[in-house]
Amino acid sequence: MADYRIANDIEIVKELLKMTSGEIANEIGVSRMTLNNWKFDEGKIRQINLSAFYGMAFRKGIRLNKIKEQLYKEEYSDEIHHVLFHGAKTVINGKLDITKSRKNNDFGQGFYCGENLEQSAMFVSGFPESSLYMIGFESAGLREKRFTVDRDWMLSIAYFRGRLKEFEDSAVVSELVAGIEGIDYIIAPIADNRMFEIIDSFVEGEITDVQCRHCLSATNLGNQYVFLTEKALEQVHILEHCYLCSEEKEYYLHSGRESVNINLDKVKIARKQYRGQGRYIEEILR
């Protein structure tokens, strides 16, 4: 059953494109009566019709999800209220649940959200049934830990992804793990597979911590919020489930591919420019 706000979205598209219900219906291949019926029974709209409507709007230059992002941020963003984004490979069924995530994520099991709509959508745009959630979060009364692109962040990612088993008895690793105990949520740079490959080069002793840090800075994807406790999750709620049409997904994937090419060049330069600076992992952890 669809839970997108298509009735509201139809009104937005009509207003922005100066189209009537009949014109929109004709454009997407349904009757005007069918289109009007969606306002009263959104849950029975067929997938093919959702794709037709949202695809048509995107092709005509209407960026519904970006419009919603701006509106939600105007309404909810202040010192304790935050608008975040969660890309889902399918849909979220029932309550938000920390235990449904993989244990070898960046910071273990948790509910992961991004600050950036495009990045959150891009991560799931390769999946046929993926969608985007706009998330509201109230941070008051919670224990927070922030990371930047530094050695502690690099080592934490490597630890939770299971790459530091050889150094589990290290005092440095023990201190990092202890520093996260009791924390409700983490704000940290996003580490995608490209960034993890760089961290892996550091773990394998191919590059120093300084080289690694500068390479990772070159591929900055923005921050993620990682909710680790039920207490934190109680202050997280879904603002809206947003449809990602195939045209919008391809837009994000294309943008991501361009970014990858630029960032790979930056990484090559960073590896060369900072060669020999800093310490190798065995010097740090042994």
The reply to whether 128 and 173 lie within a common domain is yes
Q: Is the pLDDT of residue 1 over 60?
A: no
Domain-located, residue 10: yes
The boundaries of the domain holding residue 18 are: 1-62
**Residue in this structure with the two tokens 């049934």, named with its chain if needed:** 129
Final residue before a domain boundary, out of 41, 62, 83: 62
* Span 170-196, pLDDT tens digits: 999 999 999 999 999 999 998 877 788
Across 192-221, average pLDDT: 85
* Span 228-263, pLDDT tens digits: 999 999 999 999 999 999 999 999 988 877 666 666
What does the alpha-carbon distance between residue 168 and residue 159 come to, in Å, rounded to a whole number? Answer: 8
The answer to pTM > 0.95 is no
Q: Is the pLDDT of residue 70 over 80?
A: yes
* Span 22-58, pLDDT tens digits: 999 999 999 999 998 888 876 678 889 999 999 999 9
Q: Is the pLDDT of residue 146 over 70?
A: yes
The reply to whether 140 and 10 lie within a common domain is no
The pLDDT value given to residue 221:
72
Domain-located, residue 70: no
Calculate what percentage of the chain has a pLDDT beyond 90: 67
The reply to whether 39 and 147 lie within a common domain is no
Q: In whole numbers, what is the pLDDT of the chain averaged over residues?
A: 90
User: Residue 108 has which token pair?
Assistant: 């273990």
Grade residue 79 by pLDDT with cuts at 50, 70 and 90.
confident
The reply to whether 137 and 174 lie within a common domain is yes
CB atoms within 10 A of CB 231: 13
Query: Number of folded domains in the chain?
Result: 2
Across-strand partners of 224? 114, 188
What does the alpha-carbon distance between residue 197 and residue 212 come to, in Å, rounded to a whole number? Answer: 10
The reply to whether 154 and 176 lie within a common domain is yes
Domain-located, residue 68: no
Sign of the C-alpha dihedral computed for residues 233, 239, 241 and 245 taken in this order: negative
The pLDDT value given to residue 262:
62
The reply to whether 106 and 187 lie within a common domain is yes
User: Residue 49 has which token pair?
Assistant: 């019709």
Q: Is the pLDDT of residue 222 over 90?
A: no
The reply to whether 28 and 81 lie within a common domain is no
Across 131-148, average pLDDT: 96
The reply to whether 22 and 107 lie within a common domain is no
The pLDDT value given to residue 276:
84
Grade residue 2 by pLDDT with cuts at 50, 70 and 90.
low
